[in-house]
Amino acid sequence: MMRIKSRCIPLLLYLLFFCGCENSADSKKSHQQVEYIERLHHQKKWTPLAPQKKAMPRYAWETEIPAPFPNITKEYFRCRGSVMNPTRYIHKSHALERLEDCGGSTSHSLPLKNGKEFIYPILIDLMNYLQKTTRHKVVITSGHRCPKHHQYARIDGQSLHSKHMLGAETSFYVQGFEHEPEKIVELLMNYYQNPKYTNEYTDFQRYMRDDVDVSTLPWYNKEIYIKLYLEGEGRDFDNRHPYPYIRIQVRYDRDEDKRVLFNWDLAEKNYLRL
């Protein structure tokens, strides 16, 4: 057997190393794929579009200037009754009738609809619209009235029926416009000047009958009825302030496609006693 001299070992290792590397490089080359460029350097397969400057989408609070007051919600329409209000006496058939107020929102809920407290949405929308357009505070003096508070608050001789009990009526004035209520009426009519409304909503009529308790002819469209109470008119218990004020009644329920009519059964039963 041939013996390998120890001085030859480095030479053998050197040869093995280089032979191995050479084989590995050949193997890599065999797997390489070459793709040839089929165009000249000045030729382009497509022309990139020039970048267009695009404005960032605006957030809601950037496009719409919010009213400088919190949004009006149904909370603003809670009954104004209070056990702190004094007993009132009114003349009735040669006798005095004693009237006590209700306990207000601590004693009962708003009207209920499908198990939830409810105020006609158009009233809430109109109040917020006025606040946004005038940028002045809307003061709701009377929203929901339970039957007990309505009887307590109404003027002697005024009807016992009221859509206040259904959450379909509100009285209010706008701070800063106390003595310009006609401008507020105009804004209420402007609310409906929108392509989504038909003529029945955009065209307001004047109520020409004489069975009203105001000196200004009321206005109405299909959905609402607007009354303007001047100074000295309609001073019920909820409206003891010195300003003219506006009362809006809902005439038509757009969601249910039917007229809104007062009925005692609904007025008496549609709220929770707490």
* Contact residue for Zn ion among 67, 119, 130, 146 (CB under 5 A): 146
Q: Which of 142, 151, 54, 48 is nearest to 99 (CA)?
A: 151
Task: Tell me: does residue 102 bind Zn ion (CB under 5 A).
Answer: yes
Task: Tell me: does residue 174 bind Zn ion (CB under 5 A).
Answer: no
In this structure, is the dihedral angle defined by the CA atoms of residues 194, 116, 148 and 274, taken in order, positive or negative? negative
* Contact residue for Zn ion among 149, 154, 163, 247 (CB under 5 A): 149
CB of 102 to Zn ion, least distance (A): 3
Task: Tell me: does residue 78 bind Zn ion (CB under 5 A).
Answer: no
Task: Tell me: does residue 153 bind Zn ion (CB under 5 A).
Answer: no
- Helix and strand numbers (H, E) in the chain are 7, 12
Rounded Cα gap, residues 174 and 222, in angstroms: 24
Q: Which residues are CB-neighbours of 197 under 8 A, at least 6 positions away?
A: none
Q: Are 79 and 149 in contact (CB under 8 A)?
A: yes
Rounded Cα gap, residues 67 and 59, in angstroms: 16
Nearer to Zn ion, 111 or 234 (CB): 111
CB of 212 to Zn ion, least distance (A): 26
Task: Tell me: does residue 111 bind Zn ion (CB under 5 A).
Answer: no
Q: Give how many residues touch Zn ion by CB under 5 A.
A: 5
CB of 155 to Zn ion, least distance (A): 17
Q: Which residues bind Zn ion (CB under 5 A)?
A: 79, 81, 102, 146, 149
